[in-house]
Amino acid sequence: MLQDKTLAFLTELKKNNTTEWFKDNQTDYKKSRADFENFVSDIISGLAFIDGDIEKQDLQAKKCIKRINRDIRFSNDKSPYKTNYFANFNPGGHKSEHASYYLHLEPNNCFVGGGVYMPQTPTLNKFRKEIEHDLKEWESLLNSKSFKETFPNGIESPSELKTAPKGFDKESPAIEYVRKKGFYTMRKLTDKEITSESAVSKIIEYFGQVKPIIGFLNRAL
């Protein structure tokens, strides 16, 4: 069960995003990181029961969690730390380009989902071709009642092309999807939900609804 203190730490970090403050609060950081790591471990255990590929990978929580330091080289925002924790659960392994499950922990902005967010073009085109090849199956997954109830916004994308990408027909029946630069789902969770005793089981339930989408996309790789 995730502790309220972990969200409280992230709230304070957002207010005091400096190297000096972070160093002075290392004890609280380490406690919050350990708490999130335990939470992620519990999710991995539950996810392994519903996804055999996750079980095969024997994922380690500390490797699923992204580093808190920000890359500020090309950003106008020079605050050195992220104000969230993020975990990625990849059926293909930690460094794989496969579609995956994810969890974002941030005060008043927690969410879970799965898919791919702006993959490299060669990989993206493989996903596009898989959708184009089995459009009927793809749309049947998106239109299932349980999927739509869990993810009301359906499949989302960080951005879209105005026309068909190179190598694809602009008259393709799948053009609606082919133009997308990513394929992912998102479900918001309140702070109360993410820190509840049922959080892990609910997250696994939501992952179960996006699992067919992830499996479909990963057939392309």
Q: Which helix or strand (DSSP H or E) is residue 101 part of? A: strand 100-105
pLDDT the model gives residue 73: 86
pLDDT the model gives residue 72: 86
pTM above 0.85, yes or no: yes
Would you say residue 146 has pLDDT above 90?
yes
Phi, psi of 203 (to 5 degrees): -65, -40
Would you say residue 162 has pLDDT above 90?
yes
Enumerate long-range contacts of 94-98, CB under 8 Å, 24 or more apart. 94/57, 94/59, 94/63, 94/64, 97/123, 97/221, 98/214, 98/217, 98/218, 98/221
- Residue percentage of the chain with pLDDT more than 90: 95
Mean pLDDT (whole number) for 153-171: 96
Give me 47's structure tokens. Answer: 């996810």
Residue 118 — pLDDT band, cuts 50, 70, 90? very high
pLDDT the model gives residue 74: 84
Contact in structure between 221 and 98 (CB atoms under 8 Å): yes
CA 111 – CA 43 distance, rounded (Å): 14
Q: What is the pLDDT of residues 19-76, one digit of tens each?
A: 999 999 999 999 999 999 999 999 999 999 999 999 999 999 999 999 999 998 888 8
Topology of 4-218 in CATH?
A: BirA Bifunctional Protein; domain 2 (3.30.930)
